[in-house]
Structure 1
Amino acid sequence: MPESKSANGSRPFPELMHRALFKSVSVLPSRGQAAVLRRYFDWWHRSPDPWHLQTDDYEQQKYATTLRTLPERPYNRILDVGCAEGVFTHALAGAYPDAEVTGVDVSERALNRARARPGTPRPGFARADLLSYDRHHAFDLVVCAETLYYLGRDDRLRAASAALVRFVRPGGLLALVHPWPESQQLHAYVGGAMSQVAEHVEEKTHRPFAVTVFEAGPSR
């Protein structure tokens, strides 16, 4: 989302309305909510790169900060949740060329552009929403950025957080990237199930954000 924060640290009115919209959508059953989100994001992606993820300096800063915050270790399988047109998914594939990288998103329009994006090595992509993604294996690293606030109510956020935890293999990592200080609430449910191992809060920007990294226990 491109909205900035106001000078006193509160979210501006358009962003508050945006949150209220998705909170109201979350009163629908899970399948109904997923259908609304698919249509919403397909509509947004009627034109390429609607949030300027490829070209915006702020987004590039956030990607670089996320990669720097990740602990240095080998990752065999990586999942990028809410990947949109795959800009960061391709960055992950470039940063970890020996890994199998997969991006998932609800918008088929976005995924078609993600698949067409040039790059070597090439990640894979699949259409799925967070609450119903049927993974075939667990991942060494799961990244979820600018996504959780679309879930709306706390019960959906709790369910989404539990799904993210399940995606991670024992000893694997989950990296969450969301606006600060809202991230404290968005990341809280994961904190009860995994151990926080790293965090970077970037406040010197027009829209502060936090990169929080959690590690799964040896067995769950």
Structure 2
Amino acid sequence: MEPNPRQPHTLPPAYFEQVYEANQDPWNFETSPYERDKYAATLAALPRSQYARALEIGCSLGVLTEQLAPRCGHLLAVDVATAPLERARQRCAGLPQVTFEQRRIPEEFPAGQFDLVVLSEVGYYWSPADLARATEQVLAALAPGGHLLLVHWTPPVHDYPLTGDAVHAFLLNRAGPDGPLRHCHGQRQPTYRLDLLERR
């Protein structure tokens, strides 16, 4: 896993604040058919109809959060940027099981255990060192039998320290015969991949 020599460090909160200042929906989460189909695949990959306590890292505008919420007893959705969190809170105002918090992961990983952690379109913003730290935090927080769902864009982006494939490869290395995770399911589409892992 090689960092991008032009951007070897985790992208800072200011990067995302500037992106959202320039465009309220910079990745077209709300309008793109691609995103709609990817969200459907994400939800379809979850093997349980209900999760007692879930964590979504990098919730952005809350489009996936809103769709994930009916399957969660409690869903903690976190993001590093202020503007998208405000939109997400408005979007999910009628969903009392959802809590939004502004947190920078891995520095501010939430306490407690979760039986679902969703890491969608966020891992490649981390440096290799922060990806390793976040992985250990997720493993510590994931209850036995709990699920970790990874979904990431795979083409390289010059701003990003890592590629989606590098993120998935790092996590899948923890799913060997003696590793803490078991690989349940994976699929690759033309521009994204999805992997579901289970805590042993």
- The TM-score with structure 2 as length reference comes to 0.82
What is the rounded CA distance, in whole Å, between the counterparts of 1:89 and 1:169 in structure 2?
A: 21
* 8 Å contact from structure 1 (residues 84, 111) kept in 2: yes
Equivalent in the alignment of 2:30: 54
1:68-112 deviation line (CA, Å, top 9, x unaligned): 111134300111101111111111013x1x521111010011111
CA contact (8 A) 1:80 1:103 kept: yes
* 1:105 counterpart = 2:79: yes
Q: What is the alpha-carbon distance in structure 2 between the residues aligned to residue 132 and residue 93 of structure 1?
A: 25
Q: Which residue of 2 aligns with 1:189?
A: 170
Shift of 1:168: 1.2
Instruction: Pick closer, same or farther for the CA change 1:21–1:165 going to 2, 3 Å.
Output: farther
Cα deviation code 1:13-44 (max 9, x no counterpart) = xxxxxx55542xx1xxxxxx5xx621111111
Task: Work out whether residues 119 and 151 of structure 2, in 8 Å CA contact, stay in contact via their aligned partners in 1.
Answer: yes
- Would the aligned equivalents of 2:55 and 2:117 in 1 still touch at CA under 8 Å? yes
CA distance in structure 2 between the aligned counterparts of 1:83 and 1:20, rounded to whole angstroms? 27
Q: Which residue of the other structure, out of 132, 139, 147, is the alignment partner of 2:114?
A: 139
Q: 1:63-74 residue pairs with structure 2 within 5 A?
A: 63-74=39-50
Contact 2:124–2:164 (CA under 8 A) maintained in structure 1: no
Q: Percent identity?
A: 30
Structure with greater strand percent: 2
Q: 1:29 is matched with which residue? A: none
More helix by share: 1
Matched with 1:216 is 199
Write the distance in 1 (CA, Å) between the matches of 2:90 and 2:16: 18
RMSD, aligned CA: 2.0
Contact 2:109 2:137 in 1 (8 A): no
Change (3 A) 1:82 1:44: same
Aligned mates of 2:24, 2:63 — CA distance in 1? 12
Structure 1 residue runs of 5 or longer lacking an equivalent are 1-18, 27-32
Alignment of 1:117 onto 2:91: yes
User: Following TM superposition, by how much is the alpha carbon of 1:139 offset from its aligned partner in structure 2, in angstroms?
Assistant: 0.7
In structure 2, the residue corresponding to 1:55 is in which secondary structure? Answer: coil
Name the amino acid aligned to 1:93: A
TM-score, reference length from structure 1: 0.75
- 1:52 deviation in Å? 1.2
| Cα distance change of structure 1 residues 22 and 90 upon mapping to structure 2, 3 Å threshold | farther
| Pair 1:48–1:127, CA change in 2 (3 A) | same
Partners in 1 of 2:197 and 2:139 — Cα distance? 9
- Aligned residue pairs, count: 182
2:115–2:142: 8 Å Cα contact kept in structure 1? yes
